[in-house]
Amino acid sequence: MLNNGDPACLQRFSVATNRFGPCIRPAVNDWAPTVDATGNHFALGLDIYDASMQLLPKAPGQPLVFGNPYTALSANGDALFVSLGNLGLVRLRTSDSAILDRTPNPVKPSLVRVSPDGSALVSVEIDYYGRTSKISVIDLR
């Protein structure tokens, strides 16, 4: 995924064809995407896209959070993990953004990542003053 300094143009680069896909205008600007291990899904905040850059549908109802939460896609692309700050982490199904479950988390993450093999979810609470940063590791097996 590439946002070349233009928030109105987010493109997908295919290594296999050595080409960029068409531009899409994401609803979420200035936010780092998270990509699954296969490259078939990516997310910007709570917006999940497939490999053809089509926005996947969302479950009806109230928004999960306001603003852009920290997120990470599962390695296989089936789930999006969303940080709800002190309320823990929520797992959403990528096909429709339905809530699957919530996991309490002792840290308030400012970074969420899934291990390359998909076996662990790591969240980091960064203390920008450098004294009390915290890390949580959740086994996903």
Give the separation between CA 55 and CA 46, rounded to whole angstroms. 11
Among 62-71, 86-95, 121-130, which stretch is predicted with the lowest mean pLDDT?
A: 62-71
Predicted local confidence at residue 3, as pLDDT: 59
Q: Could you give phi then psi for residue 87, rounded to 5 degrees?
A: -90, 0
Query: Domain with 106 in it: what CATH number?
Result: 2.130.10.10
| Residue-wise pLDDT tens digits, 14-53 | 888 898 888 888 877 777 789 999 888 999 888 899 988 8
* Prediction pTM value: 0.85
Predicted local confidence at residue 32, as pLDDT: 79
The verdict on residue 8 lying in a domain is no
The verdict on residue 135 lying in a domain is yes
Candidates 127, 86, 120; CA nearest to 105 is 86
Predicted local confidence at residue 65, as pLDDT: 72
In 22-133, DSSP assigns E strands to: 34-35, 41-44, 47-50, 71-73, 79-83, 89-93, 99-103, 111-114, 120-125
Q: Which domain holds residue 124?
A: 31-139
Predicted local confidence at residue 31, as pLDDT: 78
The verdict on residue 2 lying in a domain is no
The verdict on residue 117 lying in a domain is yes
The verdict on residue 24 lying in a domain is no
Give the separation between CA 48 and CA 93, rounded to whole angstroms. 10
The verdict on residue 12 lying in a domain is no
The verdict on residue 129 lying in a domain is yes
The verdict on residue 78 lying in a domain is yes
The domain total for the chain is 1
Predicted local confidence at residue 113, as pLDDT: 94
Predicted local confidence at residue 121, as pLDDT: 96
Predicted local confidence at residue 9, as pLDDT: 80
- pLDDT class for 13, splitting at 50, 70, 90? confident
| Residue-wise pLDDT tens digits, 107-120 | 999 899 999 999 99
Q: Is the pLDDT of residue 2 over 80?
A: no
